[in-house]
Amino acid sequence: MEYGKRIGHRINGNKIEVTFEKQKVIVEIIKHDIVNFFVPIWSDDHRSKAIEGEKAVKTNFSTAEERDALVITTDSLTIRIGEDFCVNIYDKDNTALLCDYEGPVEEIQRLSESAIALVEAEGHDASAMKAKSHKISTRKCLDPEDCIYGLGDKTGFLNKRGYEYENWNSDLPQAHTEDFHALYKSIPFLMCKKKHGVYGLFFDNTFHSYMDIGKTSEAYFSYAVDDGNLDYYFLGGKTLADVIGNYTYLTGTTPLPQLWTLGYQQCRWGYENAQDIREVAQNFRKLHIPCEAVQYDIDYMQQFKVFTWDEQNYGKKGELFAELAKEGFKPVVIIDPGTKLEPGYMMYEEGMKNDYFAKDKDGTVYVNEVWPGEANYPDFGRKEVRDWWGEHIKFLTDMGVGGIWNDMNEPASFRGELPLDVQFHDEDRSTTHAEIHNVYGHYMGKATYDGLRKLTPKRPFVITRACYAGTQKYATVWTGDNQSLWAHLQMMIPQLCNLGMSGFAIAGVDIGGFGADTTPELLARWIEAAAFGTFFRNHSAKGTRRQEPWQFSDEIVAIYRKYVELHYRFLPYLYDLLYKGEKTGLPVMRPLVLHYEDDTETHNLNGEYLVGDSLLVAPVVEQGATKKLVYFPEGDWYDYWTGERINGRQYKIVDAPLDHCPIYVKGGSIIPMYENVQYVGEKPYDTLKLLVTPGAAEYEHFRDNGEDYAYKDGAYTLYRFKKSEEGVLEQEILHKGYPEYAQIQIVDIC
């Protein structure tokens, strides 16, 4: 992209239109520490799918034309815009935060020119070996100490520096390794922790984009995109938490879920009939392992046709659900977007009649193949298509369905990827797959969420595999088809931490691993590592070894029960974190760097995580290991199991036999806990326990019905607990709109 010399600028409200010889750019001050840079290459408007509603607020700023730059100053930032749209951003103390890179550009040498010529002469495609050039790109400087976090579900480690990624929702069957460029989700948001300062960048463009995070060169990272506008937000703040707050201010926070959805869920692709499901459910109750839901994979449908029920194998519609509901089980069912091409099938007929499916570039309805065989793809970018889909959800809610799991919505396709020119819509505007691909899952999530919202008074429980930035407003996510590999157990921690920092306060992985065969040891370590998970589901693929906890030994059942029970005891803490997260955007599961960002030891910690700011979890994620090297950040830490005090700012090797997950509570904490139950709703939670550690502490606890939106109208009780250094606890009720607990008990850690 060429911009040329700067000609001048014009202010219009919060917007500063900067004119260059060859291109106009709009800089918008959203608030004092959020600035949008918009280059209208493709359209004059943003066309954001992630940001809903007006976000800009009246903000004081000034502009000054200097010889080499236009200088824009807000209360917290100075932005210098030089020739050729060179942008440099500084904080209040004039420390550079983000500077455009103007030095020499290197390319990674993979093959020499002559070797490429040879590959091509042999008739092979050598495009992947050549340096790519993109219509729209920008390069930003990296300092040696900079660490990069975020980017959604990308594989690999916590710090994304040194790798390259693509934003193109991808359903790839191979085992996910750290050199993958893309998985199911596209969240073009990253945060940088610098030696002095932090910032975030959100590139709001749904076309296929590419990020090289200091791989090609240590000196810069680059962003490039195939089409659309260059449209990015600089997100400032004093801390990484502030940056997450600013990102979720734009794209929305994860809404408070129903309490039960945080409970344990069991699934398997290949529960073939009602009896299979029934036995699974009964076993949980028999073995006293808490369980909320058995999820129904595609097996429950007639020939994988969405919004149908296979009565032959699963019994009369609604009967199995009603039977298991008596035992507290809530049904959650899978729904795929691919609609079977079958004359006479209601979804096919209605979709064809109303013109609801995506079309080939020549105007014929587009066909590819997914589970039901030949299938069509609903054009979810159109409101009327989303409404149509949402209305069909009634078929499921009438049966008693409590949650909907959207899958295959990248969209997946078995006969090669949908061509880029397949015709879709963005509301009334016709567009192509190239623009819609990365938001297909987002729109399907919105259709499902809106549908459930109309059909039931409860907070919608929607799970999705594919998504874009902002989908957290509608759906919970899981990380798709991982495998029963130790490497995938290890990856769970950085992957969920980065998803959390990318706005998804609720996220999970398939516990035990989806593909491949688990081992008893792997399953035990997995349930330990995931014990504080917010989407807490064991799931496996058809044809793999079954991995319900009882498939192995009494020892594994006992370990499994211990950690699922632990999860249930901490439910009020997880729920409080989500209540607070609805306002702050902060996730439940957090990397240590989020709370100890000036401690460089935390910058690359992949093997442990925090739950809120009070729990430190350091699971064993290596086969055969019975010890764990734990890093304790600043402060006092107390072993959850023994009460032993450990000083912070040190590494320690701790014992961790198979049934032991090292868990620590920070000094000066108050953590709410409940009695263990077999499922949420089994009995009223009338006793609240407060786990306390030495040191002064303050904590707010939220209680409501855990189901609907009454809390928005004041039907909740908010407690504030304060503990002095001497251990005296005071209670204050900040808001009273829901019955109080009958009892509050203090549990001292030591």
CB of 556 to ligand GLC, least distance (A): 23
Q: Spell out, one character per residue from 721 to 750, where the chain touches ligand GLC: x when CB under 6 A holds, - when not.
A: ------------------------------
> Cβ closer to ligand GLC: 245 or 480?
480
> Cβ closer to ligand GLC: 370 or 718?
370
Whether cis (ω within 30° of 0) applies to the bond prior to 411 is yes
**CA separation for the pair 144, 129 (Å, rounded):** 28
Q: Point out the catalytic residue in the list 481, 528, 548, 608.
A: 481
Contact 57, 48 (CB under 8 A): no
**Binders of ligand GLC among 433-472, rule CB under 6 A?**
465
Token readout for 130 is 């050549």
227 interacts with ligand GLC by CB under 6 A: no
Q: In Å, what is the CA distance from 495 to each residue of 3, 226, 538?
A: 38, 26, 17
Residues 702, 633, 494, CA angle at the centre, nearest 5°?
Answer: 75
334 interacts with ligand GLC by CB under 6 A: yes
Q: Binder to ligand GLC among 28, 481, 548, 576 (CB under 6 A)?
A: 481
CB of 414 to ligand GLC, least distance (A): 11
C-alpha closest to that of 552 among 514, 575, 584, 519 = 519
Contact 116, 104 (CB under 8 A): no
C-alpha closest to that of 209 among 252, 180, 239, 166 = 166
**CA separation for the pair 391, 262 (Å, rounded):** 26
CB of 730 to ligand GLC, least distance (A): 48
Point out the residue whose Cβ comes nearest to ligand GLC: 269
Contact 692, 748 (CB under 8 A): yes
407 interacts with ligand GLC by CB under 6 A: yes
Contact 676, 531 (CB under 8 A): no
Q: Spell out, one character per residue from 534 to 553, where the chain touches ligand GLC: x when CB under 6 A holds, - when not.
A: -----x--------------
153 interacts with ligand GLC by CB under 6 A: no
> Cβ closer to ligand GLC: 480 or 585?
480
> Cβ closer to ligand GLC: 171 or 242?
171
Q: How far apart are the first and last CA of the chain?
A: 63
Residues with Cβ within 8 Å of residue 106, at least 6 apart in sequence: 216, 217
- Please confirm, yes or no, whether 143 is among the known catalytic residues: no
Q: Is 448 left (phi over 0), alpha (psi -120 to 50) or beta?
A: alpha
**Binders of ligand GLC among 506-535, rule CB under 6 A?**
514
Pairing of strands 462-464, 403-406: parallel
Using CB under 6 A as the binding criterion, the count of chain residues that bind ligand GLC stands at 10
Full DSSP string of 377-423: -B-TTSHHHHHHHHHHTHHHHHHT--EEEE-STTT--SSSPPPTT-E
CB of 368 to ligand GLC, least distance (A): 16
Which residues face 690 on adjacent strands? 672, 746
298 interacts with ligand GLC by CB under 6 A: yes
- Please confirm, yes or no, whether 598 is among the known catalytic residues: no
314 interacts with ligand GLC by CB under 6 A: no
CB of 226 to ligand GLC, least distance (A): 26
Q: Point out the catalytic residue in the list 28, 204, 292, 410.
A: 410
**Binders of ligand GLC among 250-289, rule CB under 6 A?**
269
> Cβ closer to ligand GLC: 330 or 465?
465
**CA separation for the pair 590, 240 (Å, rounded):** 11
> What element of type H or E holds 529?
helix 520-529
Burial class, 710, CB count within 10 angstroms (exposed 0-12 / middle 13-18 / buried 19+) = middle
> Cβ closer to ligand GLC: 205 or 295?
295
> Cβ closer to ligand GLC: 465 or 723?
465
CB of 510 to ligand GLC, least distance (A): 7
> Cβ closer to ligand GLC: 184 or 260?
184
CB of 415 to ligand GLC, least distance (A): 16
300 interacts with ligand GLC by CB under 6 A: no
Q: Point out the catalytic residue in the list 28, 91, 297, 407.
A: 407
Torsions phi, psi for 49 (to 5 deg): -100, -15
> Cβ closer to ligand GLC: 97 or 496?
496
- Please confirm, yes or no, whether 166 is among the known catalytic residues: no
Please count the other Cβ atoms lying within 10 Å of the Cβ belonging to residue 145. Answer: 11
Q: Binder to ligand GLC among 480, 503, 667, 694 (CB under 6 A)?
A: 480
> Cβ closer to ligand GLC: 236 or 508?
508
DSSP E strand stretches across 573-723: 589-590, 609-611, 615-617, 627-632, 636-639, 645-647, 650-655, 663-666, 670-673, 687-692, 697-703, 717-723
CB of 514 to ligand GLC, least distance (A): 6
CB of 549 to ligand GLC, least distance (A): 19
> Cβ closer to ligand GLC: 465 or 689?
465
Contact 263, 290 (CB under 8 A): yes
Question: CA 162, 245, 436, 466 torsion: positive or negative?
Answer: positive
CB of 473 to ligand GLC, least distance (A): 22
Distance of CA 706 to the CA centre of its chain: 22
Q: Binder to ligand GLC among 227, 231, 297, 576 (CB under 6 A)?
A: 297
CB of 456 to ligand GLC, least distance (A): 24
DSSP E strand stretches across 142-256: 147-150, 164-167, 185-186, 189-193, 198-203, 209-212, 220-225, 230-235
List of residues contacting ligand GLC (CB under 6 A): 269, 297-298, 334, 407, 465, 480-481, 514, 539
* Catalytic residue positions, numbered: 407, 410, 481
